Structure 1
Amino acid sequence: MSKFYLVLWLKWALRVTLCSIVLACGLSFLITTYIYVNQGMQELTSEVLQALWTVFKFWFPLAWSLTLLIALFRSLKYIFNSCCGGYELKLLACGSSDVIEEIGYGNLIKVWRKWFMLIIWLIGAQMILALVFTYTFTSYNGVFEWFDIYFLFFFV
Structure 2
Amino acid sequence: MSKFYFLLWLRWAIVLTFLSVILAFVIAAFITLFTYINQGTRTLDTQIYQALYDIFKFWFALSWSFTVLLSLFISLKFVFNRCTAHYKLNLLSCPNKSEISYVLEKISYGDLVKVWRKWFMLLIWLVGAQMIFILIFMKFFSSYTTLFEWFNIYILYIFVLIAGYFSFMILSGKCKKVKVAKC
**TM-score > 0.5 by shorter chain:** yes
**Does residue 14 in structure 1 map to residue 14 in structure 2?**
yes
Distance 2:2 2:153 in 1: 30
Distance 1:102 1:112 in 2: 17
Distance 2:86 2:62 in 1: 39
Structure 1: state its 5+ residue gaps. Answer: none
1:148 shift after superposition: 0.6
Match of 1:23 in 2: 23
1:43 shift after superposition: 1.3
Give 1:45-56 correspondences, 5 Å limit: 45-56=45-56
1:142 shift after superposition: 2.5
Write out per-residue CA displacement over residues 102-124 of structure 1, whole angstroms, 9 at most, x where no aligned residue: 10111000000000000000000
Distance 2:152 2:35 in 1: 25
Match of 2:156 in 1: 152
Distance 2:55 2:159 in 1: 26
Match of 1:105 in 2: 109
**Does residue 123 in structure 1 map to residue 127 in structure 2?**
yes
Match of 1:72 in 2: 72
3-state SS of 1:145 partner? coil
- Give the number of the structure with larger relative contact order, counting CA–CA contacts within 8 Å between residues 6 or more apart: 2
| Count of aligned residue pairs for this structure pair | 156
Counterpart of 2:15 in structure 1: which amino acid?
Answer: R
Counterpart of 2:112 in structure 1: which amino acid?
Answer: L
CA contact (8 A) 2:135 2:147 kept: yes
CA contact (8 A) 2:139 2:147 kept: no
Match of 2:175 in 1: none
3-state SS of 1:89 partner? strand
The equivalent position to 2:139 in structure 1, one of 135, 149, 153, is 135
Counterpart of 2:135 in structure 1: which amino acid?
Answer: L
Write out per-residue CA displacement over residues 58-86 of structure 1, whole angstroms, 9 at most, x where no aligned residue: 11111111111111111100001422234
Structure 2: state its 5+ residue gaps. Answer: 161-183
1:16 shift after superposition: 1.0
3-state SS of 2:148 partner? helix
Superposed CA RMSD in Å reads 1.3
- The structure whose residues are more often helix, as a share, is 1
Counterpart of 1:140 in structure 2: which amino acid?
Answer: Y
1:87 shift after superposition: 2.5
Q: TM-score, normalised by structure 2?
A: 0.81
Percent identity (aligned):
54
Q: TM-score, normalised by structure 1?
A: 0.94
